Structure 1
Amino acid sequence: MVIPVHDVNPVRSTPYVTYALIAANFAVFLFTPGLAGSVAGQSDLSQLCHLQAFLDHYAAVPRELIHDQLPRLVPTGGVGIGPHGAGCVVAPPDYHKSPPVSVFTAMFLHGSWLHLLGNMLFLLIFGNNVEDRLGHIRFALFYVACGYAAAYGFAYFNDTSGDPLIGASGAIAGVLGAYLVLYPRARVWVLVPFLIFLPLRLPAWIVLGFWFVLQALYSSGQGVSHAGTVAYMAHVVGFLAGMLIAWPLRPGTPQPPEPRGLLWGRRARPGW
């Protein structure tokens, strides 16, 4: 897996929406119970119960999205002692949850610092150029539309799942898909783990195409023992949605200047 760190693709305007989305994601994470104080998102039982109650309220759940099956009992955030030891207290919900609205709120929830920082890195690198091409308002609508497509696409293939679906990665996958369509030849500086982190400057179509292939393989169970807690199918659907929406804008998109002086991370010879 390559780690992007910077793209060689200047923008014409300040990406206010991209910056606002990053700030909002950090703000929500800092106020998410039981997460902000731990790098790995590990907490004691009381914090975990509060976190579970918070996620049941605001996260998207595939079973709820597809079948509108809301649970009759949810965690309250409290801790109780039962016959099997301490656990989270459950009770009928004292709030009304709208599954479609939960898709929007889930876009700003993350499970750990690593989850948050990884998503925000991709958004920072690739979001500014897509926003520059679409404009601020259209980019905001585009981002939300890709997030909804990713969430419902994942839910369609996992319609019996009651596990919470959180994270901005579905919407950000749409940004990556749009970037691939709009700027396939833009150069992207990446770090490749090969004994050490080797810096290379590669075309966006290689970086993002490789990322998409990995997500597609993982979503089918290839290359991983199990999908774990990562919603790879949401990444695949979000990416394809971003490509589809951006495709009509491709012919009129000015391409970044061809970089000179460096090639594939090394200084090029004269005339290359």
Structure 2
Amino acid sequence: MVIPVHDVNPVRRTPWVTYALIAANVLVFLSTPGLAGSVAGDGELVRLCHLQAFMDQYAAVPKELIHHQLPRLVPTGEVGVGPHGPGCVVGPPGYHKSPALSVLTAMFLHGGWLHLLGNMLFLLIFGNNVEDRMGHVRYLLFYVVCGYAAGYGFALLNASSGDPLIGASGAVAGVLGAYLVLYPRARVWVLVPFLVFLPLRLPAWMVLGFWFALQAVYSSGHGVSGAGTVAYAAHVVGFVVGMLLAWPLKPGTPAPPEPPGLLFGRRARPYYTW
């Protein structure tokens, strides 16, 4: 897997929406009970119970999205002692939850620092140019639509699942799909792990095409055990929807500049001395 660090594709306007989305995701993560913003001194079980209750209330659950009804018993966030020892208490939901709205709130929830930083890195690198091409308002609507498409697409494929679905990955995948359509020839600096991290400048179609191919393979269950705990199918759906929504903008999109210098580790054109 390659790690993108920078693209050679300048923008005409400040990507305020992209910055705001990144800030919102970080703030929500820091305030999520049981994660980075947990109260110091809480025991491991207390943090786990708080996190389970929070995720159950605000994450998107495929079974709830498809059947539009809440379970009778949910984690309450409290710790109790049962026949098998201490554990998280469950009880009737003490809140009203809209399954449709939970798709939106789930876009700002992440399960750990690696999950958060990975999504925000891709959003920062590729989101600014997509926002520059679409404009602030259309870009925000595009982001939300891709997130909803990814969430409901995953739910349709996993209608019986009661596991929470969280993360901005589906919406960010839509941004990647749009970037691939609009700027396939833009150059992207990536780090390729090969004994050490090798810096290479590759075309966007290669970087994003490889990323999408991996998601498609993993979503089918190949390459990972049971597709792991990552919603790869949501990535695939979000990416395809992003491509389709961006396609009408492709004819009027100016080509990115072709930078001189190194390409695939070699010079793109020779230098002559006279």
What TM-score bracket applies, with the shorter chain setting the length?
A: over 0.9
Query: Residue 78 of structure 1 corresponds to which residue in structure 2?
Result: 78
Matched-pair contact (CA < 8 Å) for 2:28–2:109? yes
Give yes or no for contact 2:62–2:159 (8 Å, CA) kept in 1.
yes
Post-superposition offset of 1:271: 6.4
Query: Over aligned residues, Cα RMSD in angstroms?
Result: 1.3
User: Alignment partner of 2:229: what SS?
Assistant: coil
Aligned to 1:26: 26
TM-score (norm 1): 0.96
Alignment of 1:92-107 (within 5 A): 92-107=92-107
* Structure 2 Cα separation of the partners of residues 85 and 73 of structure 1: 20
What corresponds to 2:171 in structure 1?
171
Aligned mates of 2:236, 2:160 — CA distance in 1? 20
Please state whether the residue corresponding to 2:226 is helix, strand or coil: coil
Deviation per CA, 1:76-106, whole angstroms, max 9, x where unpaired? Answer: 1100000011111111111110000000000
Q: Distance in 2 between matches of 1:162 and 1:69?
A: 12
> Counterpart in 1 of 2:149?
149
Rounded to whole Å, the distance in 2 between the matches of 1:37 and 1:89 is 22
Task: Tell me the alpha carbon deviations over residues 110-135 of structure 1, each in whole angstroms, 9 at most, x when there is no partner.
Answer: 00000000000000000000000000
* Structure 2 residue aligned with 1:90: 90
Determine the C-alpha separation between the residues in 1 that align with 2:37 and 2:114.
Answer: 13
> Is 1:253 the equivalent of 2:253?
yes
**Partner Cα distance (1:268, 1:246) in 2:** 29
- 1: CA distance, partners of 2:269 / 2:118: 35
Deviations 1:125-169 (A, max 9, x none): 000000000000000000000000000000000000000000000
Given residue 50 of structure 2, which amino acid in structure 1 is its aligned partner? H
Q: Is the 8 A contact 2:181 2:243 kept in 1?
A: yes
In the alignment, residue 252 of structure 2 is paired with which amino acid? Answer: G
Structure-1 separation of matches of 2:18 and 2:28? 16
Q: 1:81-230 counterparts in 2 under 5 A? A: 81-230=81-230
The AA in structure 2 aligned to 1:136 is H
Would the aligned equivalents of 2:2 and 2:193 in 1 still touch at CA under 8 Å? Answer: yes
Could you tell me which residue of structure 1 aligns to residue 53 of structure 2?
53
The CA deviation at 1:266 is 3.6
2: distance between equivalents of 1:202 and 1:132?
A: 22
Q: Using the TM superposition, give the Cα deviation of residue 215 of structure 1 relative to its aligned residue in structure 2, in angstroms.
A: 0.1
Following superposition, the deviation at residue 29 of structure 1 comes to 0.2
User: Number of matched residues?
Assistant: 268
Aligned to 2:87, what secondary structure does the other structure show? strand
What SS is found at the alignment partner of 2:18?
helix
Q: Does the 8 A contact of 2:29 with 2:37 survive in 1?
A: no
Range 19-28 or range 221-230, more displaced: 221-230
Give the aligned residue type for 1:229. T
**After superposition, what is the alpha-carbon deviation per residue over 1:164-221, rounded to whole angstroms, capped at 9, x for unaligned?**
0000000000000000000000000000001110110000000000000000000001
Provide the secondary structure at the position in 2 that maps to 1:190.
strand
SS in 2 for 1:4: strand
Distance 1:239 1:271 in 2: 39
Give SS of 1:226's match: helix
On the 8 A contact 2:187/2:204 being kept in 1, the answer is: yes
Shift of residue 223, structure 1, vs aligned partner? 1.1
Partner Cα distance (2:271, 2:238) in 1: 40
